Amino acid sequence: MNGFMSTFLLLLVPGLPLLLALPALHSRLRRPLYLALLPAVILWIVPADIALELPWLLFGSGVAIDGDTRWLLASLVLIWMVAGFLLQATRGTKERRLTTFLLLMMGGSLSAILVTEMAGFFACLVLLGYAYFGVLLTADGSEASRPAARLYLVLLVLSDVLLFEALLVTSIMSDPPWGKAIGEEVMHPAAQPPPLLFYLLLTFVGFAARGAVWPLQSWLPRLSVSPHPALTLLLGAVVIAIALLGMVRWLPLGELTSPLLGFLIQGVGGVALLYAVVAGLKWQTISATFILFFSGLLIIMVGVGLADPAVWNSYSHWGNIFIAIIAIGLAVLTLVRDRLGAPPCNAVVAGKPAVPMVGLLEERIGRAIRWVSKAGFESLPRLRAACVVQIVRLWQPHQWQRMLVRGEACFRQWHYAIALSLLLAIVVVLIGISFQDYPETAAVQVHINQEGVQQ
């Protein structure tokens, strides 16, 4: 395969789904989801490692496929096929919009795997996250799932901010720093890089919020019982898997050591495992439990890797494969569950603790916002307005006006006018005579009129 073809193919993998996401395009096609997957399938089949530099993209990016990513690509293609298969049943009026969001998601997820640097990955992650939010609300518009979806959105935004900060810290720490395009001569990094722990924590929490790692998992069980099994599959095998993938990829595992954080993360992973086993053993939320369980396992691995780089280095390539396996496993599970037929879940889930908690949280936030608005941000402008009114009122009472009118009337009377003129004349004369002999009082004038004086 020649260079041009491979370049074209590599760009088409994320490009085609994004292009087809235009409603005008995909509404004319019969199976847009499969069509959009086609380049990815070809890329998977063609056995060649390709790397492509894209210096004009973002801050200079690149896409590549090699051994590890091929595995991930394979699992992702598989999952999208399963999802496409599952979604065939759900043809409805909202189908067009759903397809748009799905294609956006697909583009995001495929490019997330192929992209080679962190800013690009971040961009894909964002696309994926928001598109999934769209998928969620379009496919399942029920009132019950909305609070959880909104909570997911809040976590998404938080995660974006944290990851953004983490990205900043990475690039300021890396040598030479990113944003180097400006030319090395103008760079003078006067900055102390923030402590390592801070950076690691940012990255971990950022990805954990997207990956529904305990204790940020409360939205997961509720969303994973949606009436569409495909959504559950996408949530687990695409959204969460790619978040975990990001964590594995971008934490400096095997390079930097932080025993403290390593132990902490292991602890979190352990608790997640325990939680999954204790709280989640129910048929309706079986896939959520599955995700929680395996993500817990992965977290423990990450923790170990952070604590001891040597261990990680010897097993590192298993990370990607493990994630691929989770995803495929989830796909199988979902398919099986779909074939067996899940009982209607709304009634069962209504009593679950997640929903009231989410509802309560929202209500509290709403109350806080109302309070703040009452306390400060509406009264402040109101106060200013009141001040303005006061000033205007000060102006209006006809005191000033009257002064103006009376003054003018005064000047208009002849005897005042004549008296004023004479007074002015006398003042002028007096000033002229009395200040005549004291040139030092008129420093400015003397200075300027030097020549006149000499004459």
Residues numbered 21-80 forming contacts with other proteins, rule: CB under 8 A: 23, 55-60
Whether residue 189 has a cis bond before it, omega within 30° of 0: no
Q: Which of 68, 117, 165, 362 binds other proteins (CB under 8 A)?
A: 165
Q: Which of residues 284-313 bind other proteins (CB under 8 A)?
A: none
138 vs 132: CA distance, rounded Å: 10
Q: Which of 2, 4, 47, 181 binds other proteins (CB under 8 A)?
A: 181
- Report the residue number, 120 or 236, with the smaller CB distance to other proteins: 120
404 scored as a contact of other proteins (CB under 8 A): yes
Q: Which of residues 133-152 bind other proteins (CB under 8 A)?
A: 134, 137-138, 141, 150
For residue 359, the minimal CB distance to other proteins (Å) is: 16
201 scored as a contact of other proteins (CB under 8 A): no
Asked if 232 and 148 count as a contact pair (C-beta separation under 8 A), the reply is: no
275 scored as a contact of other proteins (CB under 8 A): no
Q: Please tell me the count of residues contacting other proteins according to CB under 8 A.
A: 88
426 scored as a contact of other proteins (CB under 8 A): yes
Q: Which of residues 354-383 bind other proteins (CB under 8 A)?
A: 369, 373, 377-378, 381
Distances (CA, A) of 223 to 96, 115, 176, 192: 22, 28, 43, 42
The residues, any chain, with a CB within 8 Å of residue 351's CB and separated by 6 or more, are none
Asked if 173 and 199 count as a contact pair (C-beta separation under 8 A), the reply is: yes
Distances (CA, A) of 352 to 12, 210, 359, 363: 44, 22, 12, 18
Where would I find the beta strands (DSSP E) of 70-166? none
Report angle CA 315, 320, 323 to the nearest 5 degrees: 115
Q: Which of residues 101-130 bind other proteins (CB under 8 A)?
A: 119-120, 122-123, 126, 130
Q: CA nearest 222: which of 231, 416, 322, 330?
A: 231
175 scored as a contact of other proteins (CB under 8 A): no
178 scored as a contact of other proteins (CB under 8 A): yes
429 scored as a contact of other proteins (CB under 8 A): yes
For residue 139, the minimal CB distance to other proteins (Å) is: 11
188-204: burial string, b at 16+ Cβ within 10 Å, e else: eeeeeeeeeeebbbbbb
The residues, any chain, with a CB within 8 Å of residue 24's CB and separated by 6 or more, are none
Stretch that binds other proteins, among 33-41, 171-179, 311-319, 332-340 (CB under 8 A): 171-179
Q: Which of 27, 88, 142, 401 binds other proteins (CB under 8 A)?
A: 401
Q: Which of 314, 396, 399, 449 binds other proteins (CB under 8 A)?
A: 449
- Report the residue number, 332 or 394, with the smaller CB distance to other proteins: 394
Asked if 284 and 334 count as a contact pair (C-beta separation under 8 A), the reply is: no
Stretch that binds other proteins, among 73-81, 207-215, 300-308, 430-438 (CB under 8 A): 430-438
- Report the residue number, 59 or 85, with the smaller CB distance to other proteins: 59
- Report the residue number, 186 or 310, with the smaller CB distance to other proteins: 186
For residue 179, the minimal CB distance to other proteins (Å) is: 5
Distances (CA, A) of 140 to 85, 114, 235: 18, 30, 13
448 scored as a contact of other proteins (CB under 8 A): yes
Q: Which residues pair with 115 in a beta bridge?
A: 63
Q: CA nearest 214: which of 158, 152, 132, 273?
A: 273
Asked if 417 and 411 count as a contact pair (C-beta separation under 8 A), the reply is: yes
Q: Which of 25, 89, 394, 422 binds other proteins (CB under 8 A)?
A: 422
